[in-house]
Structure 1
Amino acid sequence: MAQLENTWLGAPPAYLSLGLPDLHEHLPGPGLPCGALHEVIAAMHADTPAATGFTLAVMACALRARRGPAMLVVSRQAADFGTPYGHGLRALSLDAGRLLLVEARSGKDALWALEEILRSDAGAAVVAGVVETDLDLTMSRRLNLATAAAGTPLLMLRPPAATGISAATTRWRIAAAPARRDRFGAIAGTRWQVALERCRNGRAGQWELEWDHVAHRFGVAEVVADRASAAGPERPNLRRAV
C-alpha cells in the first residue's frame, strides 16, 4: 500500500497553483499536488475559523483552475463555528453555485462520504472534509489512494488536538493574524500565519499570507521564518496573533 501511495497511477502529477512562488519552492512542484491528501490544522481551537477560511480560499483557487464542482463534507460535531454562508464565500471568490455541501451525522460518516465522492464519477475540482475525529493511518491511506485515482486534491480540516501519523502529503497549521487595513481602517485583506509542518519530497516553512479581496488571490504579507534546515524540518512554534 505504501508503494501505491507514492505512485501517480501512471499519470504525471498535476499541481494546484497558489500563486506564491516563494511557497512553491517548499513543495515538490509548482503548487499543491493534486491527487493527494493535504491536512489543514488550526493552531488552537479559536483559530478554527481562520483555518476554515484558509481551506475555502484554497478551494476557490481550485475552482478557478479546474473544472467541476467543489465538494465540502462537514461533520455536525466539527461545525462548532457554524457552516459557510454566501457573503463569506463571495469574499473569498468561491462560487457558491459550484459548491456542494454535505452534512454528515458523525466523523465516521463524513470519512465514508469523502471516500465515496472520490471514487464516484462526480469529477470534482476539489474535495474538502471537516471532521472532529482523529484520522488514523489506515483511513488516511484509503483516502490517499482514492484521491490519487481521482486526480483530485483532497483537503482535510482537522482539530488542533489531531495526533498520530497519517499518509497526508502535506500538513499545514493555521493561526489567525491581524487583517490588513486600508487608509480608512476597513479590512482590506484577510491574513493567516501559515506553517507547512510536513511535506513529502519538500521542506517545511512558515509565512504570513493574506487574501486579496479585490484580486481574489493569495499574497505573502511577510515572511515570518523559514524553519527548514539541513538537519531536517523543525516543528514551528506558532502563536495566535491577538
Structure 2
Amino acid sequence: MRPLVGLGRFTGFCADVFKAVPKRPFQWGETVRQAWFIASVSILPTALVAIPFGAVIALQLGSLSRQIGAESFAGAASVLAVVREAGPIVTALLIAGAGGSAMCADLGARKIREELDAMQTLGVDPVQRLVVPRMIAGAVVAVLLNGVVSAVGIAGGYLFNVYMQGGTPGAYLASFAALGQVADLVSAQVRAFVFGIVAALIACYLGMNAKGGPKGVGQAVNTSVVVSFMVLFAVNFVMVALYFQLVPQKGS
C-alpha cells in the first residue's frame, strides 16, 4: 500500500501547488532567480548532448535511407526525429537530472534545517513561496532548452549529412517542408513545458519530504532523478500517442 499512499500524497501536493499559483503576491524575484539557476546548470550539458544526438540520428537515418533508396528524404527524417523526439527527451532528461536534482537538494536541506517548519510557523506558505516559482521556472526553461536542442540537433545533423554522407543542402532542407508541419514544433514545445512542470513537482515534493539528515537528502535526490525519468518517459509516450491520433500527418 505504500506506493498508493505516496501517490495520493503527491497528488494532493500537486493540487496544493496549482491552487497556490494564482495567489498573490506572486514571487517574481524567486521565479527569475530559479529560472536563471536552472538555465545556468542545464544550458551547456544540453548543447553538448544535442550535438551527438543530432549527428547520430543523421548518420543512422542517412544510412537507412540509402539502403531503401529514399536519400531525398534523409533530411526530413533527421529533422523530424530531432524536433519530435530528441528535443523533448533531451530536455526532459537534463531538466530532471540537473535542474530537478538541484531543486530537490535545496528544499531537502531547508527541510532538515527546519526552515520549512519555521516558515509555516510565521504564516508563510512554503508551497507558494518556494514550490510555485520553481515549477514555473522549470517549465519556462524547459521550453527554451527544447528550442536550443532542436536548433543544435538540426545543425549537427545537417553538417554530418552534407559533409560526411555526401548529401545536398537543398535536399536536406526541402524534404523537411514536404513532411514537417508547424504542429510538430508546437507538440514538442508543449511536451517540454509539461516535462518541466512534472520534473519540478517531483523534485520539490521529494525534497520537502526528505528525512534522516544529510543522508536522507542524498537519497531524496537520487529518488527524484530516477522517478522523474520513469514518469517523463511514460508521459512522453502518452502525449506522442495522443498527438498522432489527433493531428493528421502530411503525406499520409
Please report the TM-score for the alignment, with normalisation by the length of structure 1: 0.26
Structure having the higher strand fraction is 1
Structure having the higher helix fraction is 2
Greater RCO (Cα-Cα under 8 Å, separation 6 or more):
2
Please report the TM-score for the alignment, with normalisation by the length of structure 2: 0.25
| Structure with bigger gyration radius | 2
